C-alpha cells in the first residue's frame, strides 16, 4: 500500500491550473504516470478514514449472510478483480457481468460497465444491496455495524453522525482511491527514459498507437476515453446485454460499455464485460477480426490485418509494457470486534 494510506495524505490544491477545475482537491502522492486522483469536496481523505475503509472492504459482515466481502470479487491476489468469468455472491448467486479491477479506479469519471454510478461513493452502495452480490439492506448493515464496538468507535471519531450508509460509502471510496498502480515501462518512456520500450515492447507500443489504433479509445497515459463503445461483445449468448442503454433507454446505446483502463491487464483475465475472452491472445484476435459484427458496431472497430509477428509484439506490450512496477500489495487488516 502506498504511504498515504498509513501516513497523513499529501493533498494538492490546484486552484490556478489550466487543466483542472479550480478549488478541487487531489491526491498528489501517486505512482509515476498517474499524476493525480480527484478527491470530492464532500469526502476529504484522512489516514483514519482510509484505514476504516480498508477494514470494511475485507469484512464479510457487510454481506447479508456474512459469506462474502468486497474483496471476494476484488481480490488483491487476482489483480483486484476475479479470475472467474462471473463472480459468486451470497448463496452462490452469480454476477451478470465480469468484475472489473479496481486498480486506479479513482481515474474513472463514471462507474460500472454501464456507467450507472457517477462517483465512487455512489458506486459503493450498489453491490451491498444487489441480491446477487452482498444482498443486505442498508438499514440492516447500519444496525449490524453499530453492534460492533470497534466500528462504532471509529465511525464516531471520523464522522459527526457516526455509522450511516453514506459514511460507509465514504470510507470505502476513500480506501479504493488509494489502490493505485503505475511506473510501467510505458510510463517511464513518457518520462524521458527512451530505453524503457526497447525491443518487442517498443514494437508493440508502435502497433498499439499506430496500425491497431488502440489509442483511439485507450488514450495514452490514462488508457481510457471515459466513453462507451459497442465492440460486439456478448453476442454469443443470443441476447445482447443492453449496456449503456439500460441507463439511457436509447436504442443506439445497446451493447455499449465503458472503455476500461489497461495498466496491469495481464493480471485481470478474463476480459470484456462478459468475461468471454480468457487470454490476451484471444482479445487481440477478436479485435484483429473486427470485433463482433452487429448493427450498432462502433465505426472504429474494423479488421486490423495484423501479422502474427505484429500480434505477438502487441501482446508483449500489453503484458509487459503496461505492467506496473509500483503495484498495490497490502496486508489484510485485523477486523474490529
**Is 153 part of any known ligand binding site?**
no
Contacts of 126 (CB under 8 A, 6+ apart): 112, 116, 117
Sequence-separated contacts (24+) of 249-257 with Cβ below 8 Å: 252/296, 253/228, 254/230, 254/296, 255/230, 255/294, 255/296, 256/228, 256/229, 256/230, 256/296, 257/113, 257/114, 257/228, 257/229, 257/230, 257/231, 257/233
Give the integer Cα–Cα distance in Å for 127 and 70. Answer: 8
Q: How far apart are CA 55 and CA 11, in angstroms?
A: 23
The single-letter DSSP state of residue 113 is T
Give the residue among 2, 104, 105 at the shortest CA–CA distance from 50.
2
218 is in an annotated binding site: yes
* CA 163 – CA 152 distance, rounded (Å): 7
How buried is residue 116: exposed, middle or buried, by Cβ count under 10 Å (0-12/13-18/19+)?
middle
**CA–CA distance from 68 to each of 41, 133, 192 (Å)?**
31, 8, 44
Integer angstrom CA distances of residue 2 from 179, 208, 210: 8, 30, 34
Length of the chain: 337
Give the helix/strand (H/E) hosting 314: helix 308-316
Q: Is 217 annotated as a binding residue?
A: yes
> What residue numbers does the annotated binding site cover?
70, 73-74, 214, 217-218
> What residue numbers does the annotated binding site for heme c cover?
70, 73-74, 214, 217-218
Amino acid at each position: 500500500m502506498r504511504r498515504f494510506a498509513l501516513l497523513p495524505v499529501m493533498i494538492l490544491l490546484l486552484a490556478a491550473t489550466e487543466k483542472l477545475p479550480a478549488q478541487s482537491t487531489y491526491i498528489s502522492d501517486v505512482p509515476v504516470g498517474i499524476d493525480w486522483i480527484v478527491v470530492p469536496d464532500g469526502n476529504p481523505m484522512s489516514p483514519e478514514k482510509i484505514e476504516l475503509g480498508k477494514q470494511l472492504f475485507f469484512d464479510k459482515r457487510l454481506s447479508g449472510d456474512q459469506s462474502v466481502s468486497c474483496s471476494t470479487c476484488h481480490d488483491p491476489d487476482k489483480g483486484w478483480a476475479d479470475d472467474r468469468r462471473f463472480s459468486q455472491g451470497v448463496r452462490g448467486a452469480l454476477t451478470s457481468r465480469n468484475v472489473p479491477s479496481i486498480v486506479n479506479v479513482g481515474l474513472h469519471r463514471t462507474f460500472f460497465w454501464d456507467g450507472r454510478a457517477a462517483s465512487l461513493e455512489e458506486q459503493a452502495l450498489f453491490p451491498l444491496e444487489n441480491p446477487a452480490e452482498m444482498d443486505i439492506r442498508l438499514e440492516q448493515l447500519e444496525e449490524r455495524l453499530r453492534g460492533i464496538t470497534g466500528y462504532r468507535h471509529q465511525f464516531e471519531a471520523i464522522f459527526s453522525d457516526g455509522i450511516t450508509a453514506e459514511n460507509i460509502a465514504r470510507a470505502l471510496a476513500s480506501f479504493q482511491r488509494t489502490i493505485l498502480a503505475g511506473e510501467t515501462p510505458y510510463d517511464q518512456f513518457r518520462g524521458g527514459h527512451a530505453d524503457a520500450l526497447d525491443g518487442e515492447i517498443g514494437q508493440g507500443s508502435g502497433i498499439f498507437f499506430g496500425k491497431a489504433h488502440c489509442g483511439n479509445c485507450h488514450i495514452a497515459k490514462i488508457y481510457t476515453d471515459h466513453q462507451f463503445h459497442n465492440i460486439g461483445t456478448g453476442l454469443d449468448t443470443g441476447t445482447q446485454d443492453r449496456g449503456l442503454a439500460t441507463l439511457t433507454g436509447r436504442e443506439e446505446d445497446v451493447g455499449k460499455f465503458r472503455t476500461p483502463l489497461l495498466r496491469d491487464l495481464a493480471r485481470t483475465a478474463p476480459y470484456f464485460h462478459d468475461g468471454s475472452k480468457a487470454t490476451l491472445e484471444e482479445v487481440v484476435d477478436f479485435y484483429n477480426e473486427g470485433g463482433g459484427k452487429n448493427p450498432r458496431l462502433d465505426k472504429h472497430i474494423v479488421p486490423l490485418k495484423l501479422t502474427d509477428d505484429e500480434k505477438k509484439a502487441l501482446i508483449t506490450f500489453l503484458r509487459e509494457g503496461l505492467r506496473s512496477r509500483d503495484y498495490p500489495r497490502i496486508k489484510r487488516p485485523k477486523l474490529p470486534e
